Structure 1
Amino acid sequence: MRTKTIARLTAVGFVVAATALSACAPQESTGGGSGKRKFTVALARATLTPGQEIYEYAVPKQLGYFAEEDLNVGVVKADGSTAALQVLASRSADAAFASAPNIASAVDKGTPVKGYAGATVVWPYYIGVSSDSKIKRVEDLKGKTIGVISLASASYSDLVATLKSAGLTTKDVEIVPVGTGAPAATALKSGKVDAVDTYVDGFALMEDNGVKVRMLKRPKLMDELFSVTFATRDDELKDKKSRTALTGFTRAAYKGLIYSATHPEEALKMGCKEFPGAFEGCDDPSGKKFKDTLEVLKLDIAGAIPEGEKDPTKWGDWLDIPNDRWESVVTFAEDGEMTKKKIKVSDVWDNSLMKDIYNFDRKKVIEKR
Structure 2
Amino acid sequence: MTMTRVSRKVLQGGAVLMFTSLLAACGGSGGDGGDQQVSMTLATPTWNAGIASIAVSQEMGYFEDEGLDVEIILADSATTQVQQIATGQVATGAVSPEPVILGREPGKNLDLTYFMSYYKDNIYGLRVPADSDITSIEDLEGKTVGAISLASASVTQAQVGLREAGVPEDSVTFVAIGTGGQQATAVENGQVDALALLDTSFQVLENQGIELREIEVPGTDMLTSGGLAARTGDLEEDRELYVKLGRAIAKGVVFSEANPEAAVQLLFDAHPEARPSGLDDDVALSSSVSVLEARLANLGAEDDPYGVIDQEALQANVDFLLDAGELTEPVDPADLYDDSLIQDINDFDRAAVRQEAADHA
Give the TM-score range, shorter chain. Answer: 0.7 to 0.9
C-alpha displacement of 1:118:
0.3
Amino acid at match of 2:225: S
CA–CA separation in structure 2 for the residues paired with 1:351 and 1:190: 47
Is residue 4–residue 74 contact of structure 2 (8 Å, CA) maintained in 1? no
Q: Which of 241, 256, 273 is the matching residue for 2:269?
A: 273
Alignment counterpart, residue 102 of structure 2, candidates 105, 116, 136: 105
2:121 maps to a residue whose letter is: V
Q: 97-106 or 68-77, which moves further after superposition? A: 97-106
How do 1:108-127 residues align onto structure 2 when only pairs under 5 Å count?
108=105, 109-127=108-126
8 Å CA contact retained: 1:40, 1:76: yes
Please report how far the alpha carbon of residue 292 of structure 1 lies from its aligned counterpart in structure 2 after TM superposition.
1.8
- Is 1:186 the counterpart of 2:181? The answer is no
Pick the aligned partner of 1:232 from 220, 230, 236: 230
Q: One-letter code of the match for 2:245?
A: F
Offset, 1:302: 2.0
Structure 1 stretch displaced more, 195-204 or 143-152: 143-152
Match in the other structure for 1:249: 245
**1:263 to 2:248 alignment:** no
The code of the aligned residue for 1:258 comes to V
SS at match of 1:335: helix
Aligned residue in 2 for 1:364:
352
CA distance in 1, matches of 2:205, 2:74: 23
Paired residues for 1:346-361 under 5 Å: 346-361=334-349
Partner residue, 1:297:
292
SS at match of 1:43: strand
Cα gap change, 1:145/1:316 in structure 2, threshold over 3 Å: closer, same or farther? same
Task: Describe the shift of the 1:258–1:113 C-alpha distance in structure 2 as closer, same or farther (beyond 3 A).
Answer: same
| Structure-1 residue corresponding to 2:14 | none
**1:38 maps to what in 2?**
37
How many pairs were matched up? 337
Question: Does the 8 Å contact 1:130/1:212 carry over to 2?
Answer: yes
Following superposition of structure 1 onto structure 2, how do residues 327-338 of structure 1 map, counting pairs within 5 Å?
327-338=315-326
2:293 partner letter: K
Whether the 8 Å CA contact 2:250–2:307 is kept in 1: the answer is: no
1:88 aligns with 85
For residues 318 and 165 of structure 1, do their structure 2 counterparts lie closer, same or farther at Cα, with a shift above 3 Å needed?
A: farther
Give how far 1:35 is off. 5.1
Contact 1:317/1:358 (<8 A) preserved: yes
Give how far 1:290 is off.
1.4
Mapped pair 1:174 → 2:173? yes
2:28 counterpart residue number: none
Q: Structure 2 CA distance, aligned partners of 1:234 and 1:282?
A: 45
Alignment RMSD (CA, Å): 2.8
Structure 2 counterpart of 1:96, one-letter code: G
Q: Distance in 1 between matches of 2:131 and 2:280?
A: 36
Q: Quote how far apart the aligned CAs of 1:139 are.
A: 0.7
Kept in 2, the 8 Å contact 1:44–1:84? The answer is: yes
Give, as a single letter, the amino acid of the residue that structure 1 aligns with 2:307: L
**Counterpart Cα distance in 2 of 1:305 and 1:347:** 22
Which string of whole-angstrom CA distances, capped at 9 and with x for unpartnered residues, describes residues 4-41 of structure 1? xxxxxxxxxxxxxxxx9557877965999955211101
Q: TM-score, normalised by structure 2?
A: 0.84
* Distance of aligned partners of 1:177 and 1:338 in 2 relative to their CA distance in 1, 3 Å threshold: farther
Distance 2:250 2:4 in 1: 26
The verdict on how the C-alpha distance between 1:113 and 1:342 changes in structure 2, with shifts beyond 3 A counting, is same
TM-score for both structures, normalised by structure 1: 0.82
| Counterpart secondary structure, 2:195 | strand
* Matched residue type, 1:135: I
For the 8 Å contact 1:145–1:193, the answer to whether it is kept is yes
Conserved in 1, the CA contact under 8 Å of 2:128 and 2:215?
Answer: yes
Q: Would the alpha carbon gap of residues 263 and 139 (structure 1) be closer, same or farther in structure 2, given more than 3 Å must change?
A: same
Q: How far is 1:181 from its partner?
A: 2.8
Give the 3-state SS of the residue equivalent to 2:187 in structure 1: helix
Answer yes or no: is the 8 Å Cα contact 1:185–1:211 preserved in 2.
yes
- TM-fit CA distance, 1:50: 0.4
1:216 is aligned to 215
| Offset of residue 49 of structure 1 | 1.2
Larger RCO: 1 or 2 (CA < 8 Å, sep 6+): 1
Match of 2:179, SS state, is coil
In structure 2, do the counterparts of structure 1 residues 25 and 280 end up closer, same or farther at CA, with 3 Å as the change threshold?
farther
Which runs of 5 or more residues in structure 1 are unaligned?
A: 1-19, 307-311
Structure 1 pair 178–33 and aligned structure 2 pair: CA distance change class (3 A): farther
In the TM superposition, residue 262 of structure 1 has moved relative to its aligned partner by 1.0
